[in-house]
């Protein structure tokens, strides 16, 4: 097939406005078509939403353990002020390739797709899988549906490489995260007659006090020195409620988030807060609890075969940990070794004029080519 290079593929991918939380048929269709023409066996795995899909593709013998390259196809919306050009049109500015998703993480997808036809032409002793997900930016909502299908699609991979931007240095660990939205319903009324109403903001104060106390308790450990800070944490990030100072507020809502060190289930950090809702229901309030996203921590041993492989492929010792989260923890929780390694810098993600350097793409292409060479017979 006519070879497109990584830069040309990135230009195409950036042109699909695959914003998190929206239909993604266009980008999935283009990638599937490209991969089929390269000789891959491609599975489009529709999610329960009905209008969006994960994509899984394999080259080589699927019944043997190989390697899985993982990335998300969605990007965050490009609403930041300060974009100097259309975020969904790749712009070249000297060594920079500017556009939404160039670093996070269509650059990695483009490198994988650029190399794949070359690797597919080799006789492979072990397979290479591509696992491209949707709605990662909404708390990794898409990829669990893909991971659940992997046992039907291939032998358990020996390792999964999650290509989130890490300046092409492998990363062995990140914290897990869980987020929830809590809404309380009371009874409105005039503020002069509190005896007739039920103040939802006052009731939420009870939840807030529990959240603050839990956050303080967590600073006392357990500890894992790989992380910064070295303990699990928790915070209330938003609060809404009330209409006027002389009206008893009927509703109050908060969003709370926990970040857990390896070995701690992030959802468990919110359990105490959820438990308090029983007490409020007994006082006559209505309560609503919704988990809005969660993923487990990632923790791969420094001497794990996958960590050693990445050191060989990149020439750099893997970093112990980072503070941002990825889909890697979900792969590990499903019984696959996982590590983060991708081109670009996470510091450029979710910002105006997000970019990747052409050299960074080339280095990533070389890394994937080196991996492909190891899979050949």
Closer residue to Zn ion, CB minimum distance, 104 or 224: 104
Binding of Zn ion by 327 (CB under 5 A): no
Burial class (CB in 10 A: 0-12, 13-18, 19+), 278: exposed
Binding of Zn ion by 104 (CB under 5 A): yes
Shortest Cβ distance from residue 174 to Zn ion (Å)? 12
| Residue 137 contacts residue 164 (beta carbons within 8 Å) | no
Tell me the two tokens of residue 189. 């009324």
Closer residue to Zn ion, CB minimum distance, 102 or 199: 102
Please state, in angstroms and rounded to a whole number, the distance separating the CA atoms of residues 320 and 173.
Answer: 6
Footprint of Zn ion on residues 14-33 (CB under 5 A)?
none
Footprint of Zn ion on residues 24-83 (CB under 5 A)?
none
Please choose, out of 32-40, 81-89, 162-170, 207-215, the segment that lies near Zn ion by the rule CB under 5 A: 162-170
Please choose, out of 3-11, 96-104, 190-198, 260-268, the segment that lies near Zn ion by the rule CB under 5 A: 96-104
Shortest Cβ distance from residue 377 to Zn ion (Å)? 34
Please state, in angstroms and rounded to a whole number, the distance separating the CA atoms of residues 306 and 298.
Answer: 13
Shortest Cβ distance from residue 104 to Zn ion (Å)? 4
Q: Which residue has the tokens 């991708």?
A: 342
Shortest Cβ distance from residue 338 to Zn ion (Å)? 14
Instruction: Examine residue 105 and say whether the peptide bond preceding it is cis (omega within 30 degrees of 0).
Output: yes
How many C-alpha atoms does 248 have within 13 Å on its Cβ side?
18
* Total interface residues for Zn ion by CB under 5 A: 3
Please choose, out of 53-61, 105-113, 177-185, 270-278, the segment that lies near Zn ion by the rule CB under 5 A: 105-113
Closer residue to Zn ion, CB minimum distance, 104 or 354: 104
Going from the C-alpha of 373 to that of each of 61, 111, 161, 317, the distances in angstroms are: 15, 16, 16, 21
Please choose, out of 157-165, 185-193, 243-251, 282-290, the segment that lies near Zn ion by the rule CB under 5 A: 157-165
Check residue 19 and report its DSSP letter.
Answer: B
- End-to-end Cα, the chain, rounded Å: 23
Closer residue to Zn ion, CB minimum distance, 58 or 102: 102
Please choose, out of 17-25, 118-126, 163-171, 220-228, the segment that lies near Zn ion by the rule CB under 5 A: 163-171
Please choose, out of 25-33, 104-112, 217-225, 363-371, the segment that lies near Zn ion by the rule CB under 5 A: 104-112
Shortest Cβ distance from residue 163 to Zn ion (Å)? 9
| Beta-sheet pairing, 159-162 with 67-72 | parallel
Closer residue to Zn ion, CB minimum distance, 164 or 354: 164
* Helices and strands of the chain, counted as H and E runs: 9, 17
Burial class (CB in 10 A: 0-12, 13-18, 19+), 123: exposed
Shortest Cβ distance from residue 113 to Zn ion (Å)? 17
Closer residue to Zn ion, CB minimum distance, 261 or 349: 349
Shortest Cβ distance from residue 137 to Zn ion (Å)? 7
Please choose, out of 36-44, 97-105, 308-316, 329-337, the segment that lies near Zn ion by the rule CB under 5 A: 97-105
Angle at 298 between CA 112 and CA 168, to 5 degrees: 35
Torsion of CA 306, 165, 90, 138, to 10 degrees: 100
Please state, in angstroms and rounded to a whole number, the distance separating the CA atoms of residues 69 and 211.
Answer: 38
Binding of Zn ion by 135 (CB under 5 A): no
Closer residue to Zn ion, CB minimum distance, 105 or 207: 105
Position among 105, 113, 131, 161 found at the interface with Zn ion (CB under 5 A) = 105
- State the residue number with the nearest CB to Zn ion: 104
Shortest Cβ distance from residue 228 to Zn ion (Å)? 20
Q: Cα Rg for the chain, rounded, in angstroms?
A: 23
Residues contributing to the site for Zn ion (CB under 5 A): 104-105, 164
């Amino acid at each position: 097939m006519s070879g497109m290079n990584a830069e040309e593929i990135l230009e195409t991918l950036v042109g699909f406005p695959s914003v998190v939380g929206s239909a993604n048929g266009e980008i999935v269709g283009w990638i599937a078509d490209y991969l089929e023409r390269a000789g891959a066996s491609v599975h489009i795995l529709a999610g329960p939403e009905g209008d969006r899909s994960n994509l899984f593709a394999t080259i080589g013998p699927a019944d043997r353990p190989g390697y899985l390259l993982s990335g998300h196809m969605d990007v965050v919306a490009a609403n930041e002020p300060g974009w100097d050009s259309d975020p969904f049109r790749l712009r070249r500015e000297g060594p920079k390739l500017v556009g939404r998703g160039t670093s996070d993480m269509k650059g990695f997808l483009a490198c994988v797709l650029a190399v794949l036809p070359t690797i597919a032409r080799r006789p492979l002793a072990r397979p290479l899988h591509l696992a491209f997900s949707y709605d990662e930016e909404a708390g990794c909502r898409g990829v669990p549906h893909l991971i659940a299908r992997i046992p039907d699609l291939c032998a358990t991979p020996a390792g999964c490489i999650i290509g989130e931007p890490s300046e092409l240095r492998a990363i062995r660990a990140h914290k897990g995260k869980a987020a929830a939205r809590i809404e309380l319903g009371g009874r409105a009324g005039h503020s002069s007659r509190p005896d007739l109403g039920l103040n939802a903001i006052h009731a939420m104060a009870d939840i807030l006090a529990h959240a603050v106390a839990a956050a303080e308790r967590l600073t006392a450990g357990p500890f894992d020195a790989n992380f910064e800070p070295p303990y699990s944490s928790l915070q209330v990030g938003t609060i809404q409620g009330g209409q006027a100072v002389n009206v008893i507020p009927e509703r109050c809502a908060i969003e709370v988030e926990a970040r857990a060190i390896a070995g701690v289930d992030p959802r468990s950090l919110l359990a105490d807060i959820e438990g308090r809702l029983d007490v409020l229901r007994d006082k006559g309030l209505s309560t609503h609890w919704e988990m809005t996203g969660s993923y487990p921590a990632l923790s791969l041993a420094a001497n794990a075969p996958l960590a050693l492989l990445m050191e060989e492929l990149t020439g750099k010792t893997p970093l112990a940990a980072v503070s941002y989260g990825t889909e890697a923890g979900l792969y590990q929780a499903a019984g696959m070794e996982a590590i983060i390694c991708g081109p670009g810098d996470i510091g450029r993600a979710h910002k105006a004029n997000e970019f990747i350097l052409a050299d960074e793409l080339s280095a990533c292409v070389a890394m994937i080519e080196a991996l492909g060479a190891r899979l050949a017979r």
